[in-house]
């Protein structure tokens, strides 16, 4: 199975969202599909450190193509690991100097965060056997970005988790989540 997964790791149609992440594959070119997913589910990309080449700059380039905003932390002019961030800022990325600066920029770019929702449970019950991530996301709506954000919120609240088999399950003993 492991060899089959490695041969087909980037076949999104057969293995779903996780398949495109290229787990365990050693590839000369890295894994640009993973970078595309990261930038695709984000509203903005923050690059903290980047040399002349590398995954952070690939993610920033793809995010720009997807219409995402790019933020970068400036670094020492003579340090090789700062060249990428400084170049991004020169080319129009928003400079970020500290956490408050980033929060202020995000508010200007994407607006205030939505008001907290009182309901802590998912839109549909989670069966005792769990649901594959893609099927669980489908229960949360048509917008994949919003669905991923909601899954993250539910995980942060501790109402659901992804088990070792990659299934979304209700946290054991959590009365807030109905199970089917």
DSSP track, 64-75: HHTT-EEEE---
Query: How much of the chain exceeds pLDDT 90, in percent?
Result: 17
Q: What is the CA radius of gyration of the chain?
A: 19
- 167 φ/ψ angles, rounded to the nearest 5 degrees: -105, 140
Residues 87-125: b if buried by 16+ CB within 10 A, e if exposed: ebbeeebbebeeeeebeebbeeeeeeeeeeeeeebbeee
CA–CA separation, 42 and 144 (whole Å): 11
CA–CA separation, 32 and 61 (whole Å): 11
User: Lowest-confidence range among 12-26, 92-106, 129-143?
Assistant: 12-26
Looking at the structure, do residues 47 and 103 belong to the same domain, yes or no? Answer: yes
**In angstroms, what CA-CA distances link 164 with 103, 130, 167?**
34, 11, 7
What pLDDT is attached to residue 106? 77
Please check whether residue 37 lies inside any domain of the structure.
no
What pLDDT is attached to residue 13? 41
pLDDT at 84 over 90: yes
Which of 80, 110, 140 lies at the terminal end of a domain, its last residue?
110
Please check whether residue 36 lies inside any domain of the structure.
no
Looking at the structure, do residues 179 and 120 belong to the same domain, yes or no? Answer: yes
Looking at the structure, do residues 74 and 15 belong to the same domain, yes or no? Answer: no
What pLDDT is attached to residue 24? 53
Please check whether residue 127 lies inside any domain of the structure.
yes
> Whole domain around residue 12: which residue ranges?
1-30
Query: How much of the chain exceeds pLDDT 70, in percent?
Result: 69
Number of domains in the chain: 3
**In angstroms, what CA-CA distances link 134 with 2, 37, 166?**
21, 14, 10
Which of 110, 135, 163 lies at the terminal end of a domain, its last residue?
110
Please check whether residue 38 lies inside any domain of the structure.
no
What are the tens digits of pLDDT across the range 27-82? Answer: 555 566 777 787 888 888 899 999 888 888 988 998 989 888 899 999 998 899 99
CATH code at position 70? 3.40.50
């Amino acid at each position: 199975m492991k060899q089959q997964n490695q041969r087909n790791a980037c076949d999104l149609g057969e293995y779903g969202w996780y398949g495109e992440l290229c787990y365990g594959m050693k590839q000369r070119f890295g894994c640009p599909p993973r970078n595309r997913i990261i930038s695709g589910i984000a509203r903005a990309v923050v690059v903290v450190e980047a040399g002349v080449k590398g995954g952070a700059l690939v993610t920033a380039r793809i995010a720009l193509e997807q219409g995402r905003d790019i933020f970068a932390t400036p670094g020492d002019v003579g340090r090789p690991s700062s060249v990428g961030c400084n170049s991004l800022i020169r080319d129009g990325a928003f400079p970020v100097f500290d956490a408050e600066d980033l929060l202020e920029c995000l508010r200007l770019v994407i607006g205030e965060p939505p008001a907290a929702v009182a309901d802590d449970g998912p839109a549909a019950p989670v069966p005792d056997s769990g649901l594959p991530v893609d099927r669980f996301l489908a229960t949360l709506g048509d917008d994949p970005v919003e669905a991923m954000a909601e899954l993250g919120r539910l995980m942060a609240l501790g109402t659901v988790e992804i088990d070792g088999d990659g299934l979304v399950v209700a946290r054991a003993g959590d009365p807030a989540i109905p199970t089917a």
